[in-house]
Amino acid sequence: MSQQLSFYVHIPYCAKRCGYCDFNTYTPGELKSGDLDALSSSYIDSTIREIQMASQVVGPAVVPTVFFGGGTPSLLPAAQLARVIGAIRSNFTIEQGVEITLEVNPDSVSRPFLDEIKSVGATRISMGMQSAVGSVLKTLGRTHHPESVGQAVTMARASGFEHVSVDLIYGSPGETMEDWQKSLEYALSLDIDHISAYALIVEKGTKLAAQVNRGELTMPPDDQSADKYLLADELFEAAGFSWYELSNWSKPGGQCRHNIAYWDGSFWWGVGAGAHSYFKGKRWWNVKHPGSYQERISLGQSPESCHEILTPGNLLDEFIMLQMRRREGIMHSRLNSSQLSKAEDFLCSGFLDTASWSDLRLVLNRNGRLIADRIVRELVL
Ligand SMILES: C[S@@+](CC[C@H](N)C(=O)[O-])C[C@H]1O[C@@H](n2cnc3c(N)ncnc32)[C@H](O)[C@@H]1O
Ligand code: SF4
């Protein structure tokens, strides 16, 4: 069977930085250029050169998934993103039925953009909704209005996208249980087949972290976030969205194949500033700043900043960490005797699914999912 290689393409631009986000992204002002079209055109030239470099390193490969993430890919002209898809097509074999996802912000998509990106092969839209409550969006520093999510989802469907997902965030300062329920109900009223829901993380160095440190904003207690996770899971499952990873739910056939490739330990190449890659036991990441990234590429150099070689032990630990987050869980045979005995303690304490345990699989139940990080730590340390 020919080898497979997924692509992640990082688009490091946002119209405005959200207060909680520490992703590798820059506003045109931070890059001292108001002209995003010119910026993006030369950035995309560099990503295309990197795709050519990838084909020299990897050789022939079939591409099952491509994911444009950010930043805000929908800020770029669709024609620029189309050039990247074209470069992948001409350097590799695109699998029939390939999944090509685009992350978009609700207020930076238009019908012509969606039509154009669909016509060059995109198959899936992942939209940053976060909340349906105006005050929560304001605290997070989002630029869109709650109703723009519904309008953008309707446009994506009208453009012919079969797969549409929304991202939600719970546990924002000031978000009540009623606010969260409103966001869940709004998300479930949309014509979508996938939902991700993440607890808000206060990342060091962000505006949110400074506001929390100064006492201007207060993070909700952990048990409230647990209640919010449980409410989400209950409403999603009742609406036909099944969990397939701790923070991801989908209708049948709506799972994100690109994320599954990461979790399965498949090979992927991350193209662009700061992007991470994994190929044959080596993991590496590119220089972070788009300027340094483009400079390296223009000199014909690899944009790699650092790398690590993963030992079989590292790979097994990672497999356990990622697999524990998934509904399939882990076969007992993949665990050593000490891990199995720790797992048995969690079974007795009511954190594992008993039917799966009888089938020799370790699968978290709802309560277990709430303390997944602790269970994983105890198993791999
Ligand atoms: C980095 S964004 C890129 C896509 C797009 N710009 C957006 O905002 O949806 C991908 C997802 O990460 C989430 N995210 C970023 N920082 C986060 C944090 N500190 N805690 C939880 N989710 C976060 C965003 O809200 C978004 O849904
Ligand atoms: S959450 Fe999305 S829109 Fe906001 S700064 Fe991060 S990448 Fe940009």
The answer as to whether 270 is a domain residue is no
Asked whether the beta carbons of 43 and 286 are under 8 A apart, the reply is no
Say what percent of the chain tops pLDDT 90: 95
> pLDDT (tens digit, 9 = 90+) per residue, 46-56?
999 999 999 99
In the structure, what pLDDT confidence band is assigned to residue 1 with cuts at 50, 70 and 90? Answer: low
Give the type of residue at 270: G
Q: Minimum-distance ligand to the CA of 136?
A: 1
Q: Please tell me the distance between residue 201's alpha carbon and the centre of ligand 1 in angstroms.
A: 10
pTM score of the predicted model:
0.96
Reported as a single tens digit per residue, the pLDDT across 121-164 is 999 999 999 999 999 999 999 999 999 999 999 999 999 999 99
Sign of CA dihedral 90, 86, 290, 18: negative
Distance 195 CA to ligand 1 centre (A): 13
> Of ligand 2's atoms, which has the minimum distance to the CA of residue 16?
5
Residues 10 and 110 placed together within one structural domain of the fold: yes
Query: Does residue 322 share a domain with residue 196?
Result: no
Instruction: Give the whole-number percent of the chain exceeding pLDDT 70.
Output: 99
In the prediction, which pLDDT does 381 show? 78
Q: What is the CATH number of the domain that holds 149?
A: 3.20.20.70
Residues 76 and 180 grouped into a single domain: yes
Handedness of CA 21, 247, 150, 180 (dihedral sign): negative
User: Does 28 have pLDDT greater than 90?
Assistant: no
Q: Does position 275 have pLDDT exceeding 90, yes or no?
A: yes
Q: Which two tokens stand for residue 379?
A: 């198993």
**Atom 17, ligand 1: residue with shortest CA distance:** 21
Residue 288 falls within a domain, yes or no?
A: no
Phi, psi (deg, nearest 5) at residue 11: -110, 105
Inside any domain, residue 159: yes
Indicate the pairing of strand 124-130 with strand 361-362: unpaired
Task: Give me the pLDDT at residue 282, please.
Answer: 97
pLDDT tens track for 172-206: 999 999 999 999 999 999 999 999 999 999 999 99
- The boundaries of the domain holding residue 335 are 313-380
Pair 109, 224 in one domain: yes
Kindly state whether residue 115 falls inside one of the protein's structural domains: yes
By the 8 A CB rule, do 266 and 326 touch? no
**Residues composing the chain:** 381
Per residue in 82-124, pLDDT (tens digit) is 999 999 999 999 999 999 999 999 999 999 999 999 999 999 9
29, pLDDT greater than 90: no
- Where among 202, 236, 263 does a domain terminate? 263
Res. 34: pLDDT tops 80: no
Question: HEC string of the chain?
Answer: CCCECEEEEEECECCCCCCCCCCCCECCCCCCCCCHHHHHHHHHHHHHHHHHHHHHHHCCCEEEEEEEEECCHHHCCHHHHHHHHHHHHHHCEEEEEEEEEEEECHHHCCHHHHHHHHHCCCCEEEEEEECCCHHHHHHHCCCCCHHHHHHHHHHHHHCCCCEEEEEEEECCCCCCHHHHHHHHHHHHCCCCCEEEEEECCCCCCCHHHHHHHCCCCCCCCHHHHHHHHHHHHHHHHHCCCEEEECCEEECCCCCCHHHHHHHCCCCEEEECCCCEEEECCEEEEECCCHHHHHHHHHCCCCCEEEEEECCHHHHHHHHHHHHHCECCCEEHHHCCHHHHHHHHHHHHCCCECHHHHHCCEECECHHHHHCHHHHHHHHHC
Q: Are residues 228 and 330 in the same domain?
A: no
Question: What local confidence, expressed as pLDDT, does residue 32 receive?
Answer: 74
Place of tokens 């249980």: 177
Task: Give the tens place of pLDDT for each residue, 293-307.
Answer: 999 999 999 999 999
Please give the pLDDT value at position 184.
Answer: 98
How many A from CA of 95 to the centre of ligand 1? 28
Phi, psi of 379 (to 5 degrees): -75, -35
In a domain, 136, yes or no: yes
Q: How far is the CA of 75 from the centre of ligand 2 (A)?
A: 12
Number of domains comprising the chain:
2
Write down which residue in 234, 263, 292 finishes a domain: 263
Using the predicted structure, report yes or no on whether residue 216 has a pLDDT greater than 70: yes
CB 36 within 8 A of CB 80: no
pLDDT (tens digit per residue) in 229-269: 999 999 999 999 999 999 999 999 999 999 999 999 999 99
Region 308-329: mean pLDDT is 94
Q: How far is the CA of 128 from the centre of ligand 2 (A)?
A: 8
**Which of the listed residues 203, 228, 263 is the one where a domain comes to its end?**
263
Please indicate, yes or no, whether residues 222 and 161 belong to a single structural domain of this protein: yes
Q: Are residues 220 and 357 in the same domain?
A: no
For residue 284, being part of any structural domain is answered with: no
Model confidence at 342, in pLDDT bands (50, 70, 90)?
very high
362 and 227 co-located in one domain: no
**To test ligand 2's pocket by mutation, which of 11, 18, 207 has the most ligand atoms within 8 angstroms of CB?**
18
Domain assignment present for residue 300? The answer is: no
If you take atom 2 of ligand 2, which residue's CA is the nearest one? 71
In a domain? residue 217? yes
Q: Over range 348-365, report the average pLDDT.
A: 97
Which ligand lies nearest the alpha carbon of 206? Answer: 1
Residue 299: count of CB within 10 angstroms of its CB:
7
